Amino acid sequence: MHPLDVVTLTPLMERTSGRREIVIGLLDGPVAMTHPDLVGANLRQFPGKQGGTSAQASSAACLHGTFVAGILCAQRGSSAPAICPGCTLLVRPIFETTAASDQMPSATPEALAAAIIETIEAGARVLNLSVALAQPSTRGEHALEEALDYAVSRGVIPVAAAGNQGMLGSTAITRHSWVLPVVACDLQGKPMNQSNLGRSLGRRGLMAPGEDITSLGVNGNPLTFGGTSAATPFVTGAIALLWSEFPAATPTEIRYAVTQASTPRRTTVVPPVLDAWEAYHMMKTHVRR
């Protein structure tokens, strides 16, 4: 099964490629802006931020950022899923290196908090956080909580990777009640062994494909890897397409549709698989366009 079909995104993508007014904040590594499969995309990158130059094109950070950007906004027909190329991708680099391509990148809570606020103030409607926390501290996690509270006040939906440690538990990001945490599943919809699980993830989160996902590499060749970093943009992209189809919808209506479409009641540490097409029909029935 194709990853897009696992979360029933294909029929929604056939209806729309997204609207330019729907701005996705990508808090990740820098993106290879000149990649041929990103030419023509609605990309904006914060000037002067770390890793934001072509000099870092060979870094693991740029590899990760470009990979996630491809899942969201590559040209349709490319090697990447290319979920919502009609939307605007606002790239805010927050890290420079990762240990390996199969590991989640990390940022300090303070750096992530500042980036969240900055990206929201620049107009983002949904945030993609395929990132782990490094150097946790009480002060830093308090700053992060305040930044996520700011997202609540501005009606911005943060979508965050659950993590790849294969453990039960949450982080300062995923335990926040407004965040949509994403667990990685295989192509049969079963949770991957490496993906974190937990009560808050099962209660508020979603699963999306994180097994052998192919997207853009920085050198023009396709790249395949997985984990919760790869799963997260499937949920982000679905939200962007739904908001494109229903621009008058409130953030609460969008969240309700994607989280309740398949499984209204949550009783386990494993969240349900995203059902984007059912979420569309739920919104079509209950939300004005």
Q: What is the pLDDT of residues 102-152, one digit of tens each?
A: 455 678 899 999 999 999 999 999 999 998 887 777 888 899 999 999 999
Residue 80 pLDDT more than 80? yes
Q: What is the pLDDT of residues 187-208, one digit of tens each?
A: 999 999 999 999 989 999 999 9
Measured CA distances, 46 to 22, 86, 128, 129 (Å): 17, 19, 15, 16
The overall average pLDDT reported for the chain is 89
Over residues 160-169, the mean pLDDT reads 90
pLDDT at 49: 57
Residue 11 pLDDT more than 60? yes
Which residues is 25 bridged to in the sheet? 90, 127
Q: How far apart are CA 235 and CA 211, in angstroms?
A: 15
Give all domains of the chain, ordered by start, each with its CATH number.
3-286 (3.40.50.200)
**Burial letters for 209-244: b for 16+ Cβ neighbours within 10 Å, e otherwise?**
bbbebbbbbbeeeebebbbbbbbbbbbbbbbbbbbb
Q: What tokens appear for 191 in the block? A: 């949770």
Q: What tokens appear for 209 in the block? A: 């494909």
Residue 52 pLDDT more than 70? no
pLDDT at 97: 52
pLDDT at 53: 41
